Structure 1
Amino acid sequence: MQFQHKDNGQQGEFFTLNDAGQRIAEISYVWRNQNTIVADHTWVDDCLRGQGVARKLLDVLVEFAREKQLKIIPTCSYVEVMFKRDQSFTDVVA
């Protein structure tokens, strides 16, 4: 699954589209400062539920944070739960 990325310097998102060009999954963030982003929303369409797409989106966001040496503040309930469950994310948790 390929994810697209948009970032305007104030907020950003990773998302994927179906063949008709409609969004079917997304994770968004807001820049808090130059070193920190706030993961504020994750959404997966019903057609993809149970396929691990939310986790793939989170992994892409975490990879982005690691590449840019950012910390993530989770305000999205999914991201918050995953950060508590999976210790592999401790390096990016703000």
Structure 2
Amino acid sequence: MTIAHTIEHNEAKHRFVISVDNREVGYASYAQRRDGVLDFNHTVVDQAYRGRNLSTPLIKEALDWAREQGARVVPSCSAVENFIDKHPEYADLRA
């Protein structure tokens, strides 16, 4: 069951942040390589919020943004890699 949340892109920190009740409970971070490829390298959800399906909308938001930017991605984070494997409509983003 997904709980009400908000997702914001913190470009300065190169991460997408998910919040519940105005409290940051997770993020998906990326590194922008010189060739323009985005390396999604880390996804974290606070232990108290795990199992509530928060990583799915977080990763989806991040990958949708990458697509809007015309960027390719390297899913070096296993959560991002698993998301792409389960959602083949994102497979074309792989660098």
Unaligned runs of 5+ in 1: none
* TM-aligned CA deviation for residue 75 of structure 1: 0.7
Contact 2:17 2:28 in 1 (8 A): yes
Q: Which residue does 2:9 correspond to in 1?
A: 5
Q: Which residue does 1:40 correspond to in 2?
A: 41
* TM-aligned CA deviation for residue 84 of structure 1: 2.2
Greater percentage in strand: 1
Root-mean-square deviation (Å): 1.8
Q: Which amino acid aligns with 1:59?
A: K
* TM-aligned CA deviation for residue 12 of structure 1: 0.5
Greater percentage in helix: 2
Runs of 4 or more consecutive aligned structure 1 residues displaced over 6 Å after TM superposition: none
Structure 2 length as normaliser, TM-score? 0.82
The 2-side partners of 1:56 and 1:92 are apart by 17
Structure 1 length as normaliser, TM-score? 0.83
Unaligned runs of 5+ in 2: none
